[in-house]
Every structure is written in C-alpha cells, then in structure tokens.
Amino acid sequence: MRLRWLLGTLLLALILLGVHLYALQNYLYWYYRWLDTPVHILGGTMMGAFIVGVFIKYRPYTYLLGIALGAIGWELFEYYFGISTGQTRYVWDTLHDILNDVIGAVALYVLARFTIWRSH
C-alpha cells in the first residue's frame, strides 16, 4: 500500500463530504444544476487515488474495473435510496454522473502513470 496516496484519498473524501453536505443543507444541487458535475469528478478522482494507493503493481484493467464498480455502485446507491429517481431525465443524469466519475479517475490515472507507474 502507498500511505501517501491513501492519505490523499482521505483528504479528498473529507473535502467531498464537506462540499456534499454543505450543498445538500443549502439546496445547492437544486439551485446550481452544474454543481453535480465537479462533485462527481472529485468522486472519481477520490476512487482513483484509493485504487492507486491499494494496488502497488501497475494494473490498468484492475484500475478500470475498480472505477466502473465504484461509479456504478454509487449510482445504484442513489437509485436504491431514491436520491435521484424523481428526475425526468434520470437515465441521462446517471450516464452523465458516470462519465464525470470516469473523467476524474482518468485524470488521476494520468497523474499516477507519469509518477509512480512511469516505468510501465
């Protein structure tokens, strides 16, 4: 395990939690529809940092699988608890959220590829 990457993941998770709770408390997701996009990008970045921190060896398919499971798992969580099902464009919103998770994860992947995984 890479402790620095896991500590970075913890920091990203705390930032994400703070932004999300503040946005919920102040109805910012309803006032600013665009706010969901950077929150999901940050979530994808956090998932990517966690996977990089856990897996020492360079495994791009494991990374991709972890991101896919995390993004789809989060959307299933939202569906199960009825967080985003009341929207008229639910399917589009779900696909958009997954795309934004992937964008954040790809950015983190590129960072890892040019730093700790550069020899592969």
Amino acid 120: pLDDT? 65
Q: What is residue 52's predicted lDDT score, i.e. its pLDDT?
A: 94
* Residue range 90-108: mean pLDDT, rounded: 94
Residue 111 has pLDDT above 70, yes or no: yes
pLDDT at 44: 97
Q: What is the pLDDT of residue 18?
A: 98
**φ, ψ for residue 85, nearest 5 deg:** -80, -15
Question: Residue 34 carries which DSSP code?
Answer: G
Q: Left, alpha or beta for 23 (phi > 0: left; psi -120 to 50: alpha)?
A: alpha
For 63-78, how does the pLDDT look when each residue is reduced to its tens digit (9 = 90+)?
Answer: 999 999 999 999 999 8
pLDDT of 65 reads: 95
The model's pTM is: 0.90
Q: Is 36 exposed, middle or buried (0-12, 13-18, 19+ CB in 10 A)?
A: middle
15-49 pLDDT, tens per residue? 999 999 999 999 999 899 899 999 999 999 999 99
